[in-house]
Structure formats: structure tokens, C-alpha cells
Amino acid sequence: MNDLLILAVKIVIVLYSVVIHELSHGLMANSLGDPTAKRMGRLTLNPIRHLDIFGSIILPLLLYIVPPHLVFGYAKPVPYNPLLLRDKKLGPAKVAFAGPISNIVLALLFGLVMRFMPFLIYSSVIQELFVFIIWINLALAIFNLMPIPPLDGHWLLMAFLPDRFNAFKLFLYRYNIILFVAFIMFVLPWLSYLISFLFRVITGI
């Protein structure tokens, strides 16, 4: 029963980590002049407004059941209209970057508590949940910062690549599915080493 309770809490952690990620996109877009997310009722922490049945519930459960028992998921993307952004050049990159930044902030907050206020983590269960919060938020941030469509990182790449690389930009969009699958198969497994390194830097563990 205790294991089921911990699983339920971890699913809630995943859910709110992705909700905060998507909410941050909407808040940034709204601050830059695009009220689309606000008009659609997506500037809220209410998970029901962001819930994706497969990505937010079914996928985390399936991943937890299958070894190595990871818990990961996603929410419905927050819509925004880049044509309404005041900053036409860097606006999309700012909106995209806001999501990973929110996850990095969460990882830092809980990680620094573990590092400098360990007396607050008075049980192994709380420690396990803190570790999970830090890990999942680092994973969300790093994964989404990869410069491959449709991940957030590709907007940063598009914003800063000069026009002479337009052919490369078109290549990324044309073959984004192939590149994304290749990334999942060959690059994603190595990201755990980067996440582990950042985890040790933040927590000192």
C-alpha cells in the first residue's frame, strides 16, 4: 500500500512538473503581448485544464510498470500565437525557454534544500520524493532544451542561427520526425549521465 501511495505522489509530481512547464510558456507569451493562453483558460495550475490522458496518466503508469521503472509524462501544449508577440524575432525563443527554466528553478529549489537544509528531510520517503522532484525536473529541462523540432530547444536555435543557415533550418523541419526518433534512440540514453552530474552539483550528493 505504501508503494502505491508513493507511486501516486510521483505521478502527481510528474503532472505538476509538466503543468508548471506549460504554464510558464503561457505566462511568458502573455507577458509578451499574446493573450491566447489566457483566453483559453490555460494560465492556471488546475491540472484538468492541461491534462493529456495518454501523456499525463497512461504513459507514466506504463513507464513505471516496465523496468527500469521510470516515471515520465507530458501535458497538452499551451497554445500561443507568435504573430501577437511584441518581440517577433526573439519572442518565440523566450516563450520556449520559459518552460525548461521553470523546471530548472524547481530542481534548484528542492536541490538546495537537500544540500543546505537536510534537517527538513527527516525520513527516507521524503528524501526519495525530493530526489524524484529534482531528477524529473532536470530531465524535463534537458530533454526539452534539445534543438530538435518540436522540442523547445529548436526555437532557441532558430532565433540565433543567421539567415545563411536557412537551408539547415528547413532540413530540421523537413526531417524532424526522423531526427526526433534518432534522438530518442541514440542520444536520450546518454542524457542520464548529464542529469546525474547536474544532480550531484546541485545537491552535493
Contact 100, 24 (CB under 8 A): no
Residue 152: Cβ within 10 Å count? 24
What are the grid coordinates assigned to 121, written together? 528531510
Residue 35 makes CB contacts below 8 A (sequence gap 6+) with 84
Contact 116, 126 (CB under 8 A): no
Pick the closest to residue 147 from 165, 128, 123 (CA basis): 165
**Euclidean distance between CA atoms 146 and 168, whole angstroms:** 16
* Catalytic, out of 15, 22, 102, 114: 22
Q: Is 128 annotated in the active site?
A: no
**CA separation, residue 153 to residues 10, 94, 160, 163, 169 (Å):** 26, 10, 11, 18, 13
- Residues marked active site are found at 22
